[in-house]
Chains A and B, each alone.
Chain A
Amino acid sequence: MTSGHPTGGAAAPREPGPLRLGSKEFGPRDRLVMAIVNRTPDSFYRPGVTWDEGAALARVDEVVAEGADILDVGGVPAKPGQEVTAHEEIRRVVPFIAAVRAAYPDLVISADTWRHDVGRAACEAGANLLNDTWGGWDPKLPDVAAELGAGLVCSHAGGLPPRTRPFRVWYDDVVADVLDTVLGLAGRALRAGVDQARIIIDPAHDFGKNSWHSLEVTRRLSELTTTGWPVLLSASHKDFVGETLDAGIEERLAGTLATTAVAAWQGARVFRAHNVAQTRQALDMVAAIQGDLLPARAVRGLT
């Protein structure tokens, strides 16, 4: 781990508290669905499906109707490829965020970016959360979040630069490394002035990790949730699911939902998902098993 690792004190464990996003406040036992809408022609899952702005706006209507709590808008695919400049990234996401904000004044909007200048433009257009998947690569991003009152996702990417693939990565203890990084980034965010109630931590499955690492992080997710910081799970259709199940990109929903349930059981609070309705259902099922949600309608054996 080289770049992206902050200096200064790590954030301490804390009591679980409300998560504030935009004007909304979510309790520690709420489970939020973050719907993915990518403004890219080449993201890994169903590439280009929301490249067209009309299609993207229609998709927003759909995920809102399906129960999404947060919309996550990205303009740059995670994989390596043709350069997307900050200027181009802004062109892809910012007018779209403005259009969504106009249509949905209260919807929580997240901008999936590592760049502070993109983050600034996104927040000025109405974004409430900066989803920094690349582990704090741009040290000015927390300043933007603090200045504009936005939230910040503090992720573990194993120190990899944006848009790079893991190559022979290893950890003495991947969960310890994740904790070290995300709490370090949370500490940096606090020092920058980001509201404590708007900070989320994310182990970032597949980022700087092989599939063994992502499975281990999932297995031991409670070590993250017990820090008291809200945990984001971003596992939807990722390669570790595909490798585990020997499943192609279109055959990873069951594996995604199983991962979702295991993470929810251990206390994850935000779930980044391509399949909003199915994710919502899986989370409601976990919530009912945990006793946080009443069954919709119980009649069996009670007649």
Chain B
Amino acid sequence: MITAAAVVPSPPLLARQLTGRQVVLPELREACAVAAGRLLARPADVVVVVGAGPQAAAWEPDGQLNLAAWGPTRGGLGGRSEPGKPGLPLALGIGAALLDEAGYAGRRELRAIDGGASTPDCLAIGAEVARLDTSVALLVVGDGSARCTPAAPGYFDERAEAFTASVETALRTGDMAALAGLDVALAAELMATGRAAWQVLAGAIGPRRRVPGDVLYADAPFGVSYLVALLDLG
């Protein structure tokens, strides 16, 4: 049973150490912290983190992002990843770090999904999480289009604006059918790497349900659409 769900993005810059001396996007960091805090405020037996990885896989719950892969430097940037142990996929690493920063020490499951998985597969994975016989707080880690502006990593695609607006509206209104109906090919072309994770969310809550949603952050300061939202499942 899903008790609450939060949606956060996973730019590596959310790992505080990676941006150097300055804090980058404090308002995004704050929104993510608020979302995590509200997610964890609901009593649940386990937090399930879902995000795209190279392939579907369960990762060890004490996994970490390998900061050296993103920010190699003399002496390292800290973190507690062990040498030789593979780092988590980006989305799971960012999600795990968010739980750590929120002080969460309870049970967690880290589930990587194939970022290119079909909609039915995503919905099925979500339904499977919902059927767990424990109460589950769901942390969905996924990013919007990386083609929102000419300065964006993927340059500008004029279709990004409407796509981003549709996802934001779906989260604001808790419209799971809209998430389930996202165009897989378009999302891929728009470099919206969070599409699969959002559709797992739709599968977990129910692809025809509509629940109250609260969007805490929706912007694309570097041309990548970041969405932070909390869905209230009563």
A residues near B (Cβ < 8 Å) are 290-292, 294-299, 301-303
- Whether B20 contacts A303 by the Cβ 8 Å rule is no
Q: Which residues of A contact B224 (CB under 8 A)?
A: 303
Which residues of A sit under 8 angstroms from B70, Cβ to Cβ? 302
Given A303-B11, A303-B153, answer yes or no on A295-B21 (Cβ-Cβ < 8 Å). yes
A302 and B13 form a contact (CB under 8 A): yes
Q: Which residue of A lies closest to B143 (CB)?
A: A303
Starting from the known contacts A295-B20, A297-B22, A302-B11, 10 additional A-B residue pairs (CB-CB under 8 Å) come to: A291-B74, A294-B73, A296-B20, A296-B22, A298-B18, A298-B71, A299-B13, A303-B13, A303-B222, A303-B223
Instruction: Kindly state whether residue B24 has any CB partner on chain A within 8 Å.
Output: yes
Contact (Cβ within 8 A) B74 A299:
no
Complex contacts, A296 vs chain B, CB 8 Å: 20-22
Please report which residues of chain B, range 40-79, place their CB below 8 angstroms from some CB of chain A when the two chains form the complex: 70-71, 73-75
Q: Flag if B222 contacts A299 (CB, 8 Å).
A: yes
The A contact surface, by secondary structure, is loop
The interface residues of chain A lying within 8 Å CB-to-CB of B206 are none
Do the beta carbons of A297 and B21 come within 8 Å of each other? yes
Whether B13 contacts A291 by the Cβ 8 Å rule is: no
- Complex formed: what's the CA distance from A302 to B10 in Å? 10
Instruction: Enumerate chain A residues within 8 angstroms of B71, measured Cβ to Cβ.
Output: 298
Bound Cα distance A290, B75 (Å): 10
| Residue of B whose beta carbon sits closest to that of A294 | B20
Interface contact B75-A291, CB-CB below 8 Å? yes
Cα–Cα, bound, A296→B153 (Å): 21
Residue contact A298 to B20, C-beta cutoff 8 Å = yes
Contacts of A292 in B (CB 8 A): 74
A297 touches B73 (CB 8 A): no
B12 within 8 A of A: yes
Cβ–Cβ < 8 Å partners of A298 in chain B: 13, 18-20, 71
Partner of A297, one of B12, B20, B153, B222: B20
Tell me which residues from 57 to 103 in chain B have a Cβ below 8 Å from any Cβ of chain A: 70-71, 73-75
Closest beta carbon of chain A to B215's beta carbon, Å: 20
* Chain A residues with CB under 8 A of B153: 301, 303
Determine the chain A residues whose CB is within 8 A of the CB of B22 once the complex forms: 296-297
Chain B residue contacts of A297, Cβ below 8 A: 19-22, 24
- Check A290 against B19 for contact (C-beta < 8 Å): no
Sample 24 A-B pairs with CB under 8 A, ordered by A number. Answer: A291-B73, A291-B74, A292-B74, A296-B20, A296-B22, A297-B19, A297-B20, A297-B22, A298-B19, A298-B20, A299-B13, A299-B24, A299-B222, A301-B12, A302-B12, A302-B13, A302-B18, A302-B19, A302-B70, A303-B11, A303-B13, A303-B153, A303-B222, A303-B223
A207 to B66, CA, bound (A): 51
Chain B residue contacts of A294, Cβ below 8 A: 20-21, 73
Q: Distance (Å) between the CB of A32 and the closest chain B CB?
A: 19
Complex CA gap A303/B94 in Å reads 13
* Cβ contact within 8 Å between A299 and B19: yes
Enumerate chain B residues within 8 angstroms of A291, measured Cβ to Cβ: 73-75
B11 to chain A, nearest CB (A): 5
How many angstroms from the CA of A102 to the CA of B146 in the assembled complex? Answer: 56
A297 to B223, CA, bound (A): 18
Please give, as numbers and ranges, the residues of chain B lying within 8 Å of A290 by CB-CB distance.
74
CB distance from A171 to the nearest CB of B (A): 36
Chain A minimum-CB-distance residue to B77: A294
Q: B13 — which chain A residues lie within 8 A by C-beta? A: 298-299, 302-303
The docked-state distance in angstroms from the alpha carbon of A292 to that of B20 is 12
Most buried by A among B21, B70, B75, B224: B21
Q: Render B1-34 as a binary contact track against A, CB cut-off 8 A, 1 for contact.
A: 0000000000111000011111010000000000
Task: Compute how far the CA of A296 lies from the CA of B21 in the bound complex, rounded to whole angstroms.
Answer: 5
- Per-residue CB proximity of B197-232 to A under 8 Å, as 1/0? 000000000000000000000000011100000000
Within 8 A of A (CB), among B145-179: 146, 153
Query: Closest Cβ of chain A: how far from B71's Cβ, in Å?
Result: 7
User: CA of A12 to CA of B146 in the docked complex: distance in angstroms?
Assistant: 59
Can you name the residue of chain A whose Cβ is closest to the Cβ of B20?
Answer: A295
Q: When chains A and B are docked, how far (Å) is the Cα of A292 from the Cα of B64? A: 24
- Distance between A264 CB and nearest chain B CB, rounded to angstroms: 15
Top-8 shortest CB links A-B: A291-B74, A303-B222, A295-B20, A297-B22, A302-B12, A302-B13, A294-B20, A298-B20
Q: State A295–B71 Cα separation when bound (angstroms).
A: 11
B224 (CB) vs chain A CBs: closest residue = A303
Chain A residues with Cβ below 8 Å from B24 are 297, 299
Closest to A297 in B: B22
Chain B nearest CB from A38 CB (Å) reads 34
Question: Which residues in A have their C-beta under 8 angstroms from that of B223?
Answer: 303
User: A294 CA to B72 CA in the complex, in Å?
Assistant: 11
